[in-house]
Structure 1
Amino acid sequence: MVLYQLIYQSQSLVPFETPELEDLLVQSRAFNLAHHITGILLYTPDGRFMQVLEGQKSVVRDLYYNHILLDPRHYNCRVLTDGPAMRRSFSTWTMGFRVATAMDLRALLCTVPPDAPGLLVPRPHTRPELLDLLQDFVESCETEPWLEHPRA
């Protein structure tokens, strides 16, 4: 199996409260466990999501394009980056979860200066850069025990 990662962001139609987040995580974790998917979900109180999905390419793409993208609870879905990977970045979670702030997401998604002279337009982070930033963010966050769900 070739490992594949997809990172997307979206906006919820209404803010999720704790019961809705718990339901979402229970459903996601059960599906992901059955389909050998790992990842992390970030959620902001103003209703923004950012998620990393890792697994077999066909399974991850099917999940995103045929389920997540069609979910009526959110809109403005956008793939930030995707492609093959050498290893899982969130291998211990069927679906990790962290609450983030708008400032956290802005810092994760900010552009970086051009890496070559003559390029005037900033570029988005590459997938490895973004994954490193996400791992640092996850490690620096405190979380509630119900949010943790190690991979079985």
Structure 2
Amino acid sequence: MGLYQLIYQSQALVPFEQPELLALLHQARDFNRVHHITGVLLYTPDGRFMQVLEGEQSVVRDLYFNRIVADPRHYNCRVIADGPCLQRSFADWTMGFRIATAVDLRNLLCNVPPDVPGLLVPRPHTRPELLELLQEFVANGEPEPWMEVPRS
């Protein structure tokens, strides 16, 4: 099978404090390093997660459906986009991380105006559009003290 991306969002049962976030990031980075998974995690202070996972399709799907969805620390897991990809969008990170605000998340996930002026129904971002917005958000965000240093 080939390279695959999965983007999901979820809600923490209780907002994570810095020690819990650090533990989560260390655990994710260790697992991802062993399983050749890359990606980025956004977290809002009100307890929302948005994550991009990249790697072998069977490994990414197993991670999401058998570990992440089953994790009792959060609920309402929802896949936003998934599918094969030609290259990794976050290849330098086993798990990049940024704090986001609720407004940041809303802006990333908001609907796109219709392409046709007469069509009044907005459409959601396509996966490439969303990945481009995420890359821009991550690149322009303030680094946190626990940021993973991108691999060279």
Which category describes the TM-score, using the shorter chain as reference length?
Answer: over 0.9
Distance in 2, Cα, partners of 1:102 & 1:116: 29
Task: Tell me if the contact between 1:12 and 1:47 (Cα under 8 Å) persists in the aligned partners.
Answer: yes
- Unaligned 5+ residue runs, structure 1? none
- SS at structure 1 position matched to 2:108: helix
What amino acid is aligned across from residue 62 of structure 1 in structure 2? D
Distance in 2, Cα, partners of 1:55 & 1:118: 40
Instruction: Say which is worse superposed, 78-87 or 109-118, in terms of deviation.
Output: 109-118
- Using the aligned pairs only, state the percent identity: 75
Are positions 1:77 and 2:77 aligned together? yes
Distance in 2, Cα, partners of 1:24 & 1:149: 16
* Counterpart for residue 92 of structure 2: 92
Distance in 1, Cα, partners of 2:65 & 2:118: 37
Change in Cα spacing, 1:36 to 1:130, as seen in structure 2 (3 Å) is same
- Unaligned 5+ residue runs, structure 2? none
Task: Tell me if the contact between 1:95 and 1:149 (Cα under 8 Å) persists in the aligned partners.
Answer: no
Task: Tell me if the contact between 2:40 and 2:51 (Cα under 8 Å) persists in the aligned partners.
Answer: yes
Distance in 2, Cα, partners of 1:112 & 1:83: 20
- State the superposition RMSD in angstroms: 1.3
Task: Tell me if the contact between 2:98 and 2:144 (Cα under 8 Å) persists in the aligned partners.
Answer: no
Cα deviation, residue 74, structure 1? 0.3
Distance in 2, Cα, partners of 1:76 & 1:67: 14
Cα deviation, residue 120, structure 1? 3.1
Moved over 4 A (4+): none
* Counterpart for residue 8 of structure 1: 8
* Counterpart for residue 62 of structure 2: 62
